[in-house]
Structure 1
Amino acid sequence: MPTEFEMRRRNEKFAKDVREGKKATHSSRADKLAQRSPISAWALGVVMFVVFGGVIFELVRIMFLG
């Protein structure tokens, strides 16, 4: 386990690199939240099932019962 002095030195180097424009190795929590979709995967799946399922059923109804 690194000592407190080593951790401070690494943190200072990391902060200096970020200030100089070098890309951070790990994105911050705010960046991760900004990249997330506002709708969850299962909710998106339900919406797509309703929309595309309705279209497919309507096409089948028109073709075979029309």
Structure 2
Amino acid sequence: PTEFDLRRKNAQFANAVRSGKKAVKPSHQERLSKRSPLSLWALGIVLFVVVGGVIFELARLVFL
């Protein structure tokens, strides 16, 4: 296909998506909005415990 054909097909696809047709591949933002935030909370809690434990142990070694 020529460059003209590619540009025309891209323009048709963009117009179809703008008019409400579903894109073949969901955007990154759509995938993030559907993902549960629970995993981020769990990761944050685990990191808090691990980092807090390391800091606590270092403080214990230094001060005791």
Into which bin does the TM-score normalised by the smaller protein fall?
A: 0.3 to 0.5
Name the structure, 1 or 2, with higher relative contact order (CA <8 Å, separation 6+). 1
